[in-house]
């Protein structure tokens, strides 16, 4: 089972260790203003959750996308 969350954006952080060193050698990724959506996914296993590699891809893609695009 997985739960769904959302946030304003992913940011580099010296305090959080998700994907530590994969984008910047002294930082990991943090979700700004995280919130639980209230949804549980009974059809998903923990292995189906978003990986740190996918988080890095999301972060890099978001940095390349101009605001308002």
Give the global pTM: 0.73
Q: How distant is the alpha carbon of residue 23 from its chain centre?
A: 13
pLDDT of residue 69: 57
> What's the sign of the alpha-carbon dihedral 50, 11, 4, 46?
positive
**DSSP designation for 27:** -
Quickly state the pLDDT bin for 6 (edges 50, 70, 90).
confident
Could you read off the pLDDT of 10-68 as tens digits, one per residue?
999 999 999 999 999 999 999 888 888 888 888 988 898 889 999 999 999 988 876 66
| Nearest CA among 12, 10, 69, 4 for reference residue 43 | 4
In angstroms, the CA 9 to CA 55 distance is 11
pLDDT of residue 62: 86
pLDDT of residue 49: 86
Q: How many residues does the chain have?
A: 69
């Amino acid at each position: 089972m997985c739960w769904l969350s959302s946030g304003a954006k992913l940011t580099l952080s010296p305090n959080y260790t998700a994907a530590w060193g994969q984008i910047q050698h002294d930082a990991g990724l943090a979700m700004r203003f995280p919130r639980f959506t209230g949804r549980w996914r009974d059809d998903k296993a923990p292995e189906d959750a978003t990986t740190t590699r996918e988080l890095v891809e999301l972060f890099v893609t978001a940095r390349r996308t101009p605001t308002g695009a």
